Structure 1
């Protein structure tokens, strides 16, 4: 007892010092991590800020290096709106992105349920082929898709921008993986209650995959909104085109109208920025769940 009494204070004095040192180290690591994240955030946001600021610069000051224009003006926005039907293009882009997102979610859910819950001949081979299509560049299938759309008489139409995107490998892969991890007991209980596959999919599985479906919808919408090459190949008139093609119209052989281009780019970015601000958590989760791995 005497020995314990003598050494007890010493132990009680040493332990707090170690804990204090450990806490200080954690605080420094946390502060260093925050500093790194702040620097990276500035590097990521600065191009967006510069685009917005440049859209307010007059033509004779477009190459100023000040962080705020010396004479802010809305002339670039007026010029952009008058030069191209940007309102119609934004509406077309939103329409195409929304329809593609809805259709790919629908076809993806059907295909994913078949691969996750059914067994049929060559199912693994078909699933592998679908996965491999995700690795095929668009340029490989560009000419066949173009010839198909031309044979259907859909050139220079909104339908032509939507038709090749009725199904996508990303939707099938993400949803199939989520359905495979869905508890089989719940599905069996639904079957015992007399539910068929259609009802199980839409009333049991889909409502419980809202997070995955929302994340996938955000990814599909943003990807379609940023699509450029396929609309460039099909579009003939600005009224039947999307906003990405409208932005490209400010780049000509005679030069680049930087002010109107920045104004049009800002207007084209506003819907996506709004979606990101409102659905920030879902956007981050969508990139974590999608493979962007």
Structure 2
């Protein structure tokens, strides 16, 4: 079948439309369930018979949703900035400097990427607890301030940067800090922005470690608050869906504002 034929175009667009519907249905079901009462929530109706906002009022009364969303923003932004700062310095050192044991360090970094966080979670918890950082934003961020994925990603970007320009900058008397800040970073800012978007999304979705560290609801990110409505006795599905809907709104707004950069970042790092 010719790819330019109308039939092929209709098939391609039909498949894309079906995939979009499959992706949107869970979001629609979440919003739809948040507007239903408890007796109607398990019905298969696509629209609530009597829409109610009682689930939203109950969710806001049970936990500080706004405070927890700001906590999630603070944790995600701080974690992203620290990962970008440490990965920029580490990647530049691995690419720019020649020293004994460089290959060994790069190999160890690559191997640490294969170690799941659950394997080092208990030692990290003991360390954070001994430092007195339990139930704090710094305690949540500290184990994630260095990312092997970020280092390896920027390492590839630094390697593709023309070495002739760096040599010319050295001849002009620029030091390593000026070369990194004034020469390299402005020319690879698209890659840094893509990495920052992915780091922010990963930090926003982090659940297990914040649940282990935080004790008070007002110091927790929004993902921990959602667990409040799921327990062994009674599952408040309507309130859970309403709280989840509210927690998704900030990320949805960010996506609408930066959707092109987000899609480009996933394409960029997916190809890598």
Q: How far did residue 189 of structure 1 move? A: 2.0
1:261 positional shift: 0.3
Write the deviation string for residues 36-67 of structure 1: whole angstroms up to 9, x where unpaired: 11101111111011111111112221112121
- Identify the match of residue 139 of structure 1 among 118, 136, 153: 118
Does the Cα contact within 8 Å between 2:73 and 2:204 map onto a contact in 1?
yes
Deviates more, 1:140-149 or 1:191-200: 191-200
Partner of 1:206: 185
Q: Which residue of 1 aligns with 2:218?
A: 239
Shift of 1:26: 3.5
- In structure 1, the gaps of 5 or more residues are 1-20
Q: How many residues align?
A: 272
| Counterpart position of 2:108 | 129
Whole-angstrom CA distance in 2 between matches of 1:291 and 1:173 = 14
Runs of 4+ in structure 1 deviating by more than 4 angstroms, as ranges, are none
Q: Report whether the alignment pairs 1:189 with 2:168.
A: yes
Aligned-partner Cα distance in 2 for 1:260–1:174: 40
Q: Which residue of the partner structure matches residue 6 of structure 1?
A: none
Structure-1-length-normalised TM-score: 0.89
Q: Which moved more, 1:140-149 or 1:177-186?
A: 177-186
User: Any unmatched runs of 5+ in structure 2?
Assistant: none
Q: CA RMSD in A?
A: 1.5
- The CA deviation at 1:291 is 4.4
Say if 2:236 is the partner of 1:257: yes
User: What are the superposed Cα offsets for residues 58-103 of structure 1, whole Å, 9 maximum, x if unpaired?
Assistant: 2221112121211111111111111011111111110000000001
Residue 26 of structure 1 pairs with residue 26 of structure 2: no
Tell me the residue number matched to 1:49.
Answer: 28
Q: CA–CA distance in 2 between the matches of 1:160 and 1:54?
A: 35
1:65-214 → structure 2 map (5 Å cutoff): 65-214=44-193
What secondary structure, in the 3-state scheme, does the structure 1 residue paired with 2:24 have?
A: helix
Cα pair distance change 1:139/1:258, threshold 3 Å: same
Structure 2: distance between partners of 1:107 and 1:123: 17
Deviations 1:252-274 (A, max 9, x none): 12121001100111111112112
TM-score normalised to the size of structure 2?
Answer: 0.96
Q: Select the residue among 37, 48, 56 that pairs with 1:58.
A: 37
Q: Distance in 2 between matches of 1:62 and 1:144?
A: 43
Q: Secondary structure at the match of 2:39?
A: helix
Distance between the aligned counterparts of 1:292 and 1:161, measured in 2?
Answer: 31
- Structure 1, residues 241-292: CA drift from partner, whole Å, max 9, x if none? 1100000110012121001100111111112112222111211222222248
